[in-house]
């Protein structure tokens, strides 16, 4: 019974933390939050050499703007960074396909801007382990 009560309290508190005001359709650029989405959230993000899609979620929902992603190559790999140019946010997401050419930990940086002519106003970084 105690476990069920604790689980219910945790869920209730999590929902309260993640809720956004209904009028959040036109947020200021400084209030934008970027997060990454991978197909399997039950394990650390990893990929094999080759193409791998990375999705950046833009919150609050219904936010307009553009997102660019950069995959920063592992140290001592000799590879260049991979760049996915600015793309418009569609349904609160932007998706980029990267073709990873070497093993190691790649840093993925998502950058949000209100439009193609504005400065980047929000950045989020994650790491992705690439193996054969």
- Total-model pTM: 0.70
pLDDT of 77 > 50? The answer is yes
Q: What does the pLDDT look like over 48-73, one tens digit per residue?
A: 666 788 999 999 999 999 999 999 99
Number of other CB atoms surrounding residue 103 within 10 Å: 14
Across residues 13-38, what is the average pLDDT? 54
Least confident span in 16-25, 36-45, 65-74, 89-98 = 16-25
For the chain, the maximum distance between any two Cα atoms, rounded to a whole number of angstroms, is: 56
Number of other CB atoms surrounding residue 131 within 10 Å: 10
CATH of 32-131, one of 2.70.98.60, 3.90.1150.10, 2.60.120.260, 2.60.40.10: 2.60.40.10
Number of other CB atoms surrounding residue 75 within 10 Å: 7
Q: What does the pLDDT look like over 81-121, one tens digit per residue?
A: 999 999 999 999 999 999 888 899 999 999 999 999 999 99
Tell me if residue 27 falls in helix, strand or coil.
coil
């Amino acid at each position: 019974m105690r476990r069920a009560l604790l689980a219910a309290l945790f869920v209730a508190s999590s929902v309260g933390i993640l809720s956004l005001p209904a009028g959040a359709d036109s947020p200021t650029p400084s209030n934008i939050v970027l997060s990454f989405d991978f197909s399997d959230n039950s394990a650390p993000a990893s990929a094999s050499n080759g193409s791998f899609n990375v999705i950046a979620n833009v919150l609050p929902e219904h936010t307009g703007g553009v997102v660019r992603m950069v995959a920063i190559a592992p140290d001592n790999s000799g590879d260049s960074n991979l760049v996915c140019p600015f793309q418009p946010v569609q349904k609160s997401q932007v998706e980029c396909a990267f073709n990873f050419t070497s093993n190691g930990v790649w840093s993925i940086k998502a950058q949000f801007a209100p439009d193609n002519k504005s400065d980047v106003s929000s950045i989020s970084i994650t790491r992705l382990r690439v193996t054969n």
